[in-house]
Amino acid sequence: MAPEVDKRVWSKTQNVVVSANIFAKLPLEKLAVLLDNSDYTPETFPGLIYKVQDESFSFNKASYLLFSSGRVICTGTKSIKHARDAVRHVIDDLKEVGIEITKKPEIKVQNMVASGSVGGRLNLNEIVFLFDNTEYEPEQFPGLVYKLKGEEVLQNITFLLFGTGKIVITGARSEKQIKDSVKFLRAQLIEVGELDKKTTKTTKEKPAKVEKTEKVDKPTNVDSKSNSTR
């Protein structure tokens, strides 16, 4: 997914996970012998791990989990189109080693991970008080975890927020959800005074002048409880 116009506010898909039903039973022990770059250790995991090693493909980082039921999990691509192409590729590989597959696969997006930026620095010690459904333990991890709840379209989204303004988005099912979630998060941050709307405009147009407004005092003394789960 292409970054937004203003480089200070952007989002970019980093990984797409899809599941597929290929409507064919898979003899995993046989496939472990026939497929290069495969690994099957049923004592520790019931699926066969298979990786694409051809640099000529746009989805050359794709990895698969193949199950005897005919279920396939594909991860490592950076767009839904590439994920679908990767599923078709593994079906072709299976056909080449004698697996009969006649039906069109059912492919579902399970998760998308994206990186991005909200366009300004963030005070995580304040945000943990201002937003519900947050977790912040800076001694263990420098990012704040924020789960969206009650938003019907974006209810599966979880953010990792960093003080630099960089973010990670997980749980999306479409590229539109990723973009919408960044806009939604920015709107929330602006509303509580954690971002200056004027400095995080998402177009190249020169922002109109706005009169200064009196800022609401924010808490200055933050005790150790500020890093607890909300």
pLDDT in tens, 94-107: 999 999 999 999 99
pLDDT averaged over every residue in the chain: 85
- How far is the C-alpha of 10 from the C-alpha of 13, rounded, in Å? 10
- Does residue 37 sit in helix, strand or coil? coil
Mean pLDDT of 73-81: 96
pLDDT of residue 198: 56
* Residues 6 or more apart whose Cβ sits within 8 Å of residue 171: 111, 112, 156, 157, 158
DSSP symbol at 67: -
Angle at 207 (CA atoms; ends 201, 209), nearest 5 degrees: 135
- Which of 18-32, 50-64, 179-193, 216-230 is least confident? 216-230
Percent of the residues in the chain that have a pLDDT greater than 70, as a whole number? 81
How far apart CA 1 and CA 14 sit, in angstroms, is 9
Residue 62 DSSP code? -
Q: Is the pLDDT of residue 133 over 80?
A: yes
- Whole-number Cα distances in Å, 18 to 41, 101, 160: 23, 19, 22
Say what the pLDDT of residue 158 is.
Answer: 97
Count Cβ atoms below 10 Å from residue 13 Cβ, excluding itself. Answer: 21
**Which secondary structure element, helix H or strand E, spans residue 38, and what is its range?**
strand 38-40
Provide mean pLDDT across the span 42-62: 87
Query: What backbone torsions phi and psi does residue 125 show, to the nearest 5 degrees?
Result: -65, -30
How much is the pLDDT for 218? 44
pLDDT band at 219 (very low <50, low <70, confident <90, very high): very low
Closest by CA to 115, choosing from 185, 168, 160, is 168
CB 66 within 8 A of CB 72: yes
**Domains along the chain with CATH numbers:** 1-17+110-203 (3.30.310.10), 23-104 (3.30.310.10)
Question: CA 219, 189, 150, 181 torsion: positive or negative?
Answer: negative
Residues in the chain: 230
Q: Listing from the earlier edge strand, what are the strands of the sheet with 158-161?
A: 38-40, 48-51, 63-66, 71-77, 10-21, 106-117, 166-172, 158-161, 144-147, 134-135
Beta 38-40 vs 134-135: how paired, if at all?
Answer: unpaired
Over residues 69-93, mean pLDDT: 96
